Amino acid sequence: MTKKVAIIIGSLRKESFNRKVAKEFMRVAPKGLELTIVEIGDLCMFSEDIENNPPQEWIDFKGKIVESDAILFISPEYNRTIPGVLKNAMEIGARPPKNNSWKGKPGAVVTVSSGAIGGLGANQTIRNAAVSLHIPMMQQPEAYIGGIKDRLLEDGITVNEKTEKFLKDFLEAFEKWINNLTD
């Protein structure tokens, strides 16, 4: 049975490296995984004042998370932590607590950066937040993709052979993680 994976990208930039990696994941995904990007850029800022009468964008977003079998976060690191837009999406998906859209969905995180350490701080922050969201996170393999500019081919979009193998291996491990938790 094919598992639906919601990809949440922490960067809003149209040409972000994170979006390119997400699309590469979609290209190399095993047949057992259906990966779809769930956009977060149109979500207004979370506020408890509107939590019980949420805007349609929140309802639609939460519905896409509920319909998925698993979550894959792909994010840059901003100032040693996660982008505000990603934290906002995490809050919206988790509220109100009795309607936590993330709860029980197997998750994984990949951080992508042009720097050498590949977003280590953001990766760990996402993992920490996932615990409170009740997302069981895959522990291994970890994915910190640093030096992304050197991992893209001349087209500036497609990853090189070594990176493609890494993405495939990561997704195979994630597929096993998902199946262990959902079958």
Residue stretches of the chain with pLDDT short of 50: none
* pLDDT (0 to 100) of residue 58: 97
Q: What is the pLDDT of residue 99?
A: 93
Which one, of 86, 127, 93, 91, lies nearest residue 107 by Cα? 127
Using one digit for the tens of pLDDT, what is the confidence trace for 122-163? 999 999 999 999 999 999 999 999 999 999 988 988 999 999
Q: For the chain, which domains are there?
A: 3-182 (3.40.50.360)
pLDDT confidence of residue 128: 96
Q: Which tens digits make up the pLDDT trace of 127-137?
A: 999 999 999 99
Give all strands (DSSP E) within the chain, no chain letters. Answer: 3-9, 33-37, 70-75, 107-112, 143-145
Q: What per-residue confidence (pLDDT) applies to 117? A: 81
CA angle 9-132-123, nearest 5°? 40
